[in-house]
Amino acid sequence: MYPTKYHKAASVDDAIAALAGGEDGKFLAGGMTLIATMKQHLAAPDVLVDIRAIDGMKGVTADGDTLVIGAATTHAEVAASDTVLGLCPALACLAAGIGDPMVRQAGTIGGSIANNDPAADYPAALLALGATIVTNAREIAADEFFEGLFTTALEENEIITAVRIPKPAAAGYAKFRQPASLFALVGVFVAQTADGARVAITGAGEDGVFRHDGLEAALSANWSADAVDGVEVSSDGLMTDIHADPAYRANLIKVMAKRAVAG
């Protein structure tokens, strides 16, 4: 790893000032992505600003029927939270299926969505649930936040502090795991929200996580696994790699959507 300078931030202002002190600094959370990237020399931040010890960045609370999850909350903490289990059990189940126990005890929700890996799990959940991403500067709707492969609406020096998730009437997630990486070959999150059914797909899109109009229309009309049968899922714009071609991924989207609705 190239040399770097580590700073444990005491507050959001301190974190932003520390980042500004470097030329190519980065925020550090669980490090499950960033440290691996640094070891491969794909990133060489001169300053690393650890945001995990900032007051209020960790933990889960309920604001009425809205789930509020601090950005530095680990996957294991989300999986075990009674508040998450009460308001959105599908999200706890998703968190319990990310990577392995060590990844879940270190990796955070903020790090996962800031990274926006095209096969990550949380982006599908937040997009389907119509979540709001809260930063030090503003609130961003999930529909505007996930812009493409490893790309988000975040500015360089913007810190995610929390995500807000309205309680869905029903929700489910099904993921076909790529067994070596543990990431989603295809993952589908379905949610019954105030605006009807929302369906978000990860692991499949060439531009990262995306919503599917056909599945949303079918599930808004009839919330059942059978409703998925009649939907046409095109392979246009789907990823291809040694694990699966676009046609295989298109088929998996339907299979995972049915499983997600069936719960």
Ligand X SMILES: Cc1cc2nc3c(=O)[nH]c(=O)nc-3n(C[C@H](O)[C@H](O)[C@H](O)COP(=O)(O)OP(=O)(O)OC[C@H]3O[C@@H](n4cnc5c(N)ncnc54)[C@H](O)[C@@H]3O)c2cc1C
Site of interaction with ligand X (CB under 6 A): 26-34, 36, 51, 71, 98-99, 103, 106-108, 110-112, 114-115, 117, 120-122, 154, 159-160, 182-183
List the interface residues with other proteins, window 53-82 (CB under 8 A). Answer: 80
| 219, 228 contact by CB (below 8 A) | yes
Comparison of 34 and 227: residue with beta carbon closer to ligand X: 34
CA-closest candidate to residue 218, choices 202, 199, 200, 236: 199
The answer to the question of residue 103 lying near other proteins (CB under 8 A) is yes
Query: Applying CB under 8 A, which of residues 10, 24, 39, 237 lies at the interface with other proteins?
Result: 39
| 142, 133 contact by CB (below 8 A) | yes
Query: Applying CB under 8 A, which of residues 59, 99, 246, 263 lies at the interface with other proteins?
Result: 99
Q: Which stretch binds other proteins (CB under 8 A): 31-39, 54-62, 199-207, 247-255?
A: 31-39
Q: Are strands 5-8 and 47-50 parallel, antiparallel or unpaired?
A: parallel
Query: Applying CB under 8 A, which of residues 14, 50, 143, 206 lies at the interface with other proteins?
Result: 50
Q: What is the DSSP letter of 14?
A: H
In this structure, how many other beta carbons lie within 10 angstroms of the beta carbon of residue 220? 16
Residue recorded with tokens 């294991």: 76
Query: Applying CB under 8 A, which of residues 9, 38, 93, 256 lies at the interface with other proteins?
Result: 38
- What three-state secondary structure class fits 192? strand
The answer to the question of residue 138 lying near other proteins (CB under 8 A) is no
The answer to the question of residue 219 lying near other proteins (CB under 8 A) is no
The answer to the question of residue 101 lying near other proteins (CB under 8 A) is yes
Burial class for 41, CB neighbours closer than 10 Å (0-12, 13-18, 19+): exposed
How far apart, in whole angstroms, are the C-alpha atoms of residue 263 and residue 251?
A: 19
Residues that bind other proteins (CB under 8 A): 1-6, 8, 28, 31-32, 35-36, 38-40, 48, 50, 80, 99-103, 105-106, 180, 182
